[in-house]
């Protein structure tokens, strides 16, 4: 029996919304009815391969999410690939993630130079580059790069905070700076100068840079000690910070230390470089410290430890990189959850750039996690800490 034209039209009108919704969903790269695919670049090899644990912890985190039913009914697949901390390789791997693997977004790619190398490409492609593991000021540029957002405190703001502390407490200081010879190190040096303002030229009496490939920073430390500085800012990751502490101990040079938050770990840095050499070092944090015995019964800490025991039992629970992966995973999960049924890249960025009102586990008390359309800096009111020879202890909040 042939259907009448009116009946066929009525049937199509009934079915069209479902067809349209299915067709629209099919156009969203990296999203199906059951899965969300994310990509991540991490140095699993190369000069900073210690960051490989961030990849493992990230994979473990989303395994936990999936065991709990996923996000709004969808499981999360994280494709975490090695870039060796080499920007050309990062570009190659990122293009593969976007163009071949079809990821929905980049989640917490690691490193300043690697992420910077892909920023323009990802913004042209309108692929979210979220929770970047770098604190460069360039990530807070929503007008030029609206698809890129950092997951760490801003390096320049951090260094300016140290400058304020110095001006308030050590106004006659002679300051030396050891910094990584790239945008990461330059961010700290520039932030320190900006924070010191008109006194920067008189107070900064020596600066020394180093390359990641340098075998040691011994010569730089000797040069800085020679200018008789009584304050030293070390803008470096773990390896060079440990080397600097060891050399300072050898030559019996003990200035007031300021350490980049990425290296301010009692176990991973200070214990290796010498607790006595690091004693009194001031840094900043936005995350709770698993090595702090005062937090042993903290609900967030208990949940984090349970996560590590079940999903990453070979990982170091005290490792700050694992804490960071857990926190970034919590933030990403909340962003995806807030997208609801409208899981598009545009809606994800809408929520990422208007993020507020969330309580994120393992974020330090008093730290505010918030973004605004014209301010992509994620963390506000970070916590100043001082190493007492065994643990980092809170000494106050600089606000902001």
pLDDT of residue 268: 86
- Give the model's confidence band at 10: pLDDT under 50 very low, under 70 low, under 90 confident, else very high: very low
pLDDT of residue 291: 86
pLDDT tens per residue across span 48-63:
898 999 999 999 999 9
CA distance 281 to 232: 10
Average pLDDT taken over every residue of the chain: 92
Q: What is the CATH number of domain 156-285?
A: 3.40.50.2300
CA distance 81 to 76: 16
Residue 13 has pLDDT above 50, yes or no: no
**249 burial via Cβ count (<10 Å: 0-12, 13-18, 19+):** middle
Q: Are the C-beta atoms of residues 55 and 315 closer than 8 Å to each other?
A: no
pLDDT tens per residue across span 234-273:
999 999 999 999 999 999 999 999 999 999 999 889 999 9
Please provide the DSSP assignment of 235-262 as one string: E--HHHHHHHHHHHHHTT--PEEEE-GG
CA distance 291 to 298: 12
Alpha-carbon dihedral sign for residues 325, 132, 283, 169: negative
pLDDT tens per residue across span 173-216:
999 999 999 999 999 999 999 999 999 999 999 999 999 899 99
Residue with tokens 């479902």: 18
Q: Where in the chain is the domain with CATH 3.40.50.2300?
A: 35-153+295-380, 156-285
pLDDT of residue 198: 97
Residue 335 has pLDDT above 90, yes or no: yes
pLDDT of residue 397: 54
pLDDT tens per residue across span 302-327:
999 999 999 999 999 999 999 999 99
Q: Which percentage of the chain shows pLDDT scores above 70?
A: 92
pLDDT of residue 11: 45
Q: Calculate mean pLDDT across residues 135-148.
A: 96
Q: What is the CATH number of domain 35-153+295-380?
A: 3.40.50.2300
CA distance 203 to 137: 24
pLDDT of residue 377: 95
Q: Calculate mean pLDDT across residues 22-40.
A: 82
pLDDT of residue 43: 97
Continuous segment of H or E residues that includes residue 156: helix 155-169
Residue with tokens 């308030």: 168
Measured in residues, the chain has a length of: 400
pLDDT of residue 267: 87
pTM of the model: 0.86
pLDDT of residue 47: 86
pLDDT tens per residue across span 213-231:
999 999 999 999 999 999 9
pLDDT of residue 19: 42
pLDDT tens per residue across span 98-131:
999 999 999 999 999 999 999 999 999 999 999 9
pLDDT of residue 24: 45
Structure tokens at 376: 């992509």
Alpha-carbon dihedral sign for residues 358, 362, 366, 371: negative
Residue 400 has pLDDT above 80, yes or no: no
- Give the model's confidence band at 26: pLDDT under 50 very low, under 70 low, under 90 confident, else very high: very low
pLDDT of residue 122: 98
Nearest C-alpha neighbor of 163 from the set 372, 155, 119, 395:
155
């Amino acid at each position: 029996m042939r259907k009448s034209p009116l009946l066929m039209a009525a049937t199509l009108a009934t079915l069209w919304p479902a067809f349209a919704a299915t067709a629209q969903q099919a156009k969203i790269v990296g999203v199906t009815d059951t899965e969300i695919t994310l990509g991540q670049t991490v140095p699993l090899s190369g000069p900073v391969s210690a960051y490989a644990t961030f990849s493992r912890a990230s994979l473990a985190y989303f395994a936990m999410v999936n065991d709990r039913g996923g996000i709004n009914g969808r499981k999360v697949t994280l494709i975490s690939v090695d870039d060796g901390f080499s920007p050309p390789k990062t570009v190659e791997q990122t293009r593969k993630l976007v163009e071949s693997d079809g990821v929905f977004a980049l989640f917490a790619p690691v490193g300043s130079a690697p992420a910077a190398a892909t920023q323009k490409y990802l913004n042209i492609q309108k692929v979210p580059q979220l929770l970047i593991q770098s604190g460069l000021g360039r990530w807070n540029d929503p007008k030029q790069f609206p698809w890129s957002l950092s997951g760490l405190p801003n390096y320049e703001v951090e260094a300016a905070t140290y400058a304020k502390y110095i001006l308030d407490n050590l106004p006659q200081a002679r300051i030396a700076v050891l910094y990584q010879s790239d945008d990461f190190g330059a961010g700290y040096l520039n932030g320190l100068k900006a924070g010191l303002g008109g006194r920067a030229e008189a107070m900064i009496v020596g600066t020394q840079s180093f390359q990641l490939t340098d075998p040691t920073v011994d010569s730089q430390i000797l040069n800085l000690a020679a200018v008789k500085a009584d304050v030293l800012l070390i803008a470096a990751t773990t390896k060079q910070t440990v080397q600097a502490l060891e050399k300072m101990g050898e030559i019996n040079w003990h200035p007031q230390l300021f350490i980049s938050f990425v290296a301010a770990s009692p176990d991973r840095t200070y214990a290796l470089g010498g607790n006595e050499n690091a004693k009194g070092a001031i840094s900043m944090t936005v995350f709770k410290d698993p090595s702090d015995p005062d937090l042993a019964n903290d609900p967030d800490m208990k949940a984090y430890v349970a996560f590590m025991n079940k999903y990453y039992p070979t990982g170091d629970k005290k490792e700050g990189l694992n804490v960071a992966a857990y926190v970034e995973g919590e933030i990403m999960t909340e962003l995806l959850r807030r997208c609801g049924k409208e899981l598009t890249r545009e809606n994800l960025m809408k929520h990422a750039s208007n993020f507020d009102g969330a309580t994120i586990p393992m974020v330090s008390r008093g730290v505010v996690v918030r973004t605004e359309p014209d301010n992509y800096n994620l963390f506000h009111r970070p916590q100043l800490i001082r190493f007492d020879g065994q643990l980092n202890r809170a000494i106050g909040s600089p606000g902001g």
